Structure 1
Amino acid sequence: MVLRTGRLTLRAPPAGDVDAIVDAVSDPVTRRWLPLPDPYGRDEALAFVAEKAPAVRASGAGLIRAIECDGDLAGMIDLKKTDWRHRATEIGYWAVPAARARGVMTEATVALSRWVLTGAAFERVVLRIAPGNEASIKVAERAGFAYEGVARNAGIVPSGRVDLAIYSLIPADLS
């Protein structure tokens, strides 16, 4: 499955993205919010694109897409914690430093959430965001997600446990 917007392509991450993935997840801002292996090198990135991404899709647990903008990797976006019975899923994402503050992640989040709600007939998409992650909060709001509240002590980032702000999008929000 490939999704396209006016300027983005959401596609499976190929081996050609490995170096860009390593560079992006080495960024201190990205590392602040994501519980990634430390260190994260080529072996981890290769396993991610060659094994994890295909396995997640094949199992039905989710979908991992690379975000391409102007021919370059701009970030990753995924569906995770996918519950087919209840038709609900969560979106997660990160952006390479050069793609930040350009609307790329909002555009990708809109595209993937609209596809899963309409094309895959899901009933609920959730974003779980550490309250201090202002950039992700802006993405949620600009993508039309509704704030629901805070799940206390529900997330893990490298510095420890954090609360998570819950945002959701349902089919009625698309009208």
Structure 2
Amino acid sequence: MRKKICRGLKIVNYLSIISFCAGMTLVVTGCKSGKNMVANNITSVVEKNMDKGYSFKIKNAEFFIGEDPTANIDKLEAEADSFTVPSCAKQGEDKIYTYSGFTLTVHEDSEAGSLKLASILLTDDSVQTKEGLYIGQTRKEAEKLYGKRKKKENEYIYKKGRMELSIIFEDEKIVSIEYRG
């Protein structure tokens, strides 16, 4: 009698596991309408909770790599020279905004119709990182603000969240600062 009860419980457990797996399969494969709805929702949740990385702040606008920069571009009072080119790295086009002291590269995904900030290049010493680094400072000043890095030729790369900060040196002086995805 005891063996029959144990065998019955095992069957119930197996059926519960199979039912649970079948239900999860339906949820994950999208029994609701919408192509890749679950995958898109998971991606959205992960992106919202991921560390955004270093930001570039100028006046009342703050830019993060990988986010739509439209609202922040609108906050800038300065006019930008801009042009559009086919993207070398991704599907779609890149729009380049050139301001005094920095350049923004915004990627427009033609399939998704979304805009994402791909890079920020500081072009002179009139602007600085949020932490206070600007072109012309020394390697030691960069190390004081961001920490020491293993030198990759003449470049330090600081990774944070979904982006990296690239600092290029020439004769121990900073000649380039770029935020990129």
What's the TM-score once normalised by structure 1's chain length?
Answer: 0.26
Q: Which has the higher helix share?
A: 1
